[in-house]
Structure 1
């Protein structure tokens, strides 16, 4: 998956509409297609940017972003914190960067 800037894509599609020179149904259809694509960008679903955080605490680690405790095994013991690269609750990337 590639994330794109939908606003920039819309500007580019509308620019392309203006660049189509010619008359007749064929060119009107092309212009209409680009215009429809530009309008459709406003209704497309969006993806949230991924949050970043780190594990805090000692023994019982918790997410710096949402305060959820790190995952445990089925017996209630803690899993190795170095192997938990994401918060299971909020999805934050546990890379130590705070954004």
Structure 2
């Protein structure tokens, strides 16, 4: 039962986040673009959501780090030998431990 409630909560959160992002895009577009360009028109909520989808397709997402950069690092990790991986993990841990002590 808790699993269903958690899933419904996450789905609701995603829907609300998409609606808020669409609203923000619509408000920013209607505030900035018609003032800058003479022939530009205001957009409605559906067009703002379409603009969000288009930006997702063209620029690779809203996640921050993902996209092509993460895949490149994964390919690099897969190409390492077990010794190289262990050396990398040890260096990464020592750097992380140093930062935590600052």
Please indicate the TM-score interval, normalised by the length of the shorter structure. under 0.3
Task: Select the structure that is richer in helix.
Answer: 2
- What is the TM-score with the length of structure 1 in the denominator? 0.27
Task: Select the structure that is richer in strand.
Answer: 1
Q: Higher Cα Rg: structure 1 or 2?
A: 1
Higher relative contact order (CA 8 A, sep 6+): 1
